[in-house]
Structure 1
Amino acid sequence: MFKKMKTIVIGKAIKSAESESEKFSVIWGLPVLSSDAISSVSYACEEILMVLVPVLGIASYKPLMGIAAAIVGLLLILVFSYRQTIECYPHGGGSYSVASDNLGKVPGLVAAASLSIDYVLTVAVSTCSGTAAITSAFPQTIPFRVEITLFLILLLTLGNLRGIRESSILFGIPTYLFIFSIIAMIATGLIKVFVFGQVPQPTTALPPQAQDVTILLLLKAFSSGCTALTGVEAVSNGIPNFKAPSQKNAKRVLALLALLVFVIFSGVCYLASMYKVAHAENVTVVSQIASRVFGSGTIMYFTVQATTAMILIMAANTAFADLPLLLSLLAKDGFVARSFGSRGARLSFSNGIMLLFLLSSVLVIVFKAETHLLIPLYAVGVFLSFTLSQTGMLKKWITHRQGNWRHKAVINGFGALMTAVTCVIIAVSKFASGAWIVLICIPSLVAFMLFIRKHYNKVRDNLSIEDSSSDLILENPTENYILLPVQSVNKSFVKALNYAMTLGKKIEVYHVSTNKAETERLKVKFGQLGLDFPLLIEEAPYRNINETLLAHVDKEQARLNKHEMLTVVLPQFVIPKRWHYMLHNQTSLRLKSALVRRRDVAVVTIPYIINE
Structure 2
Amino acid sequence: MPAFKPPEWRNARNTLIAQVIIFGSLFLGISFLAAEMRIIPDPNEVQTVLSLITRNVIGNGWILFFMQITTALILALAANTSFADFPRLSFFLARDGFMPRQFAYRGERLAFTTGIVALAGLAVLLLVAFGASVTALIPLYTLGVFVAFTLSQSGMVVRWWRQHEPGWRRGLVINGLGAATTAVIALIVASTKFLSGAWLVIVMAPLLIMLMVGIRRHYRVVDAALALERIPEGKEVAAEPIVIVPIGRLDRAARQAIAFANSISPNATAVHVTNDPKDAAEMRERWPDWAGTTELVVVESPYRALIGPLLRYMDALQAQDPKRPIVVVLSEFVPRHWWEQLLHNQTSLRLKLRLFGRRNTIVADVPYHLPKPEVR
> Same fold per TM (> 0.5)?
yes
State the percentage of identical aligned residues.
36
**Which amino acid is 2:358 matched to?**
R
Does residue 335 of the first structure (1) align with residue 98 of the second (2)?
Answer: yes
Equivalent in the alignment of 1:348: 111
Pick the aligned partner of 1:366 from 109, 129, 135. 129
1:289 shift after superposition: 3.4
**Which amino acid is 2:196 matched to?**
S
Please give the secondary structure, in 2, of the residue aligned with 1:536.
strand
Query: Which whole-Å deviations, capped at 9, do the CAs of 1:35-94 have from their partners, x for residues lacking one?
Result: xxxxxxxxxxxxxxxxxxxxxxxxxxxxxxxxxxxxxxxxxxxxxxxxxxx5xxxxxxxx
Equivalent in the alignment of 1:512: 273
Equivalent in the alignment of 2:18: 256
Equivalent in the alignment of 1:278: 39
Aligned pairs for 1:79-228 (under 5 A) are: none
Please give the secondary structure, in 1, of the residue aligned with 2:357.
coil
Q: Does the 8 Å CA contact 1:479/1:506 hold for their aligned counterparts? A: no
Pick the aligned partner of 1:265 from 5, 24, 27. 27
Larger relative contact order (CA 8 Å, sep ≥ 6): 1
Equivalent in the alignment of 1:597: 357
Give distance in 1, aligned partners of 2:7 and 2:251: 63
Pick the aligned partner of 2:315 from 534, 554, 571. 554
Give distance in 1, aligned partners of 2:5 and 2:111: 18
Give distance in 2, aligned partners of 1:494 and 1:517: 22
Give the helix-richer structure, 1 or 2: 1
Give distance in 2, aligned partners of 1:591 and 1:365: 37
Give distance in 1, aligned partners of 2:98 and 2:124: 24
Query: Which whole-Å deviations, capped at 9, do the CAs of 1:521-576 have from their partners, x for residues lacking one?
Result: 322332114633322233333333321211222232334464x4322111111123
**Which amino acid is 1:489 matched to?**
L
Q: Does the 8 Å CA contact 1:277/1:289 hold for their aligned counterparts? A: no
Does residue 608 of the first structure (1) align with residue 372 of the second (2)?
Answer: no
Query: Which whole-Å deviations, capped at 9, do the CAs of 1:310-352 have from their partners, x for residues lacking one?
Result: 3233322222222222222222233333222222232222322
1:445 shift after superposition: 2.7
Q: Which stretches in structure 2 are left out of the alignment for 5+ residues?
A: none
Pick the aligned partner of 1:538 from 283, 293, 299. 299
**Which amino acid is 2:25 matched to?**
V
Please give the secondary structure, in 2, of the residue aligned with 1:506.
coil
* TM-score for the superposition, normalised by structure 1: 0.54
Give distance in 1, aligned partners of 2:52 and 2:298: 85
Give distance in 1, aligned partners of 2:132 and 2:304: 55
Does residue 445 of the first structure (1) align with residue 208 of the second (2)?
Answer: yes
Equivalent in the alignment of 2:344: 584
Q: Does the 8 Å CA contact 1:487/1:512 hold for their aligned counterparts? A: yes
* TM-score for the superposition, normalised by structure 2: 0.85
Q: Does the 8 Å CA contact 2:240/2:325 hold for their aligned counterparts? A: no
Aligned pairs for 1:25-36 (under 5 A) are: none
1:492 shift after superposition: 0.4
Residue 320 and residue 467 in structure 1: after superposition, are their counterparts in 2 closer, same or farther (change >3 A)? closer
Give distance in 1, aligned partners of 2:261 and 2:203: 56
1:425 shift after superposition: 2.3
Give distance in 1, aligned partners of 2:307 and 2:159: 60
Q: Which stretches in structure 1 are left out of the alignment for 5+ residues?
A: 1-85, 87-238
1:379 shift after superposition: 1.0
**Which amino acid is 2:363 matched to?**
V
**Which amino acid is 1:426 matched to?**
V
Give distance in 2, aligned partners of 1:474 and 1:544: 42
Residue 443 and residue 524 in structure 1: after superposition, are their counterparts in 2 closer, same or farther (change >3 A)? same
Give distance in 2, aligned partners of 1:596 and 1:603: 7
Give distance in 1, aligned partners of 2:335 and 2:107: 29
Give distance in 1, aligned partners of 2:322 and 2:55: 86
Aligned pairs for 1:238-317 (under 5 A) are: 242=3, 247-248=8-9, 250-272=12-34, 275-281=36-42, 282-293=46-57, 295-317=58-80
Please give the secondary structure, in 2, of the residue aligned with 1:482.
strand
Give distance in 2, aligned partners of 1:370 and 1:291: 22
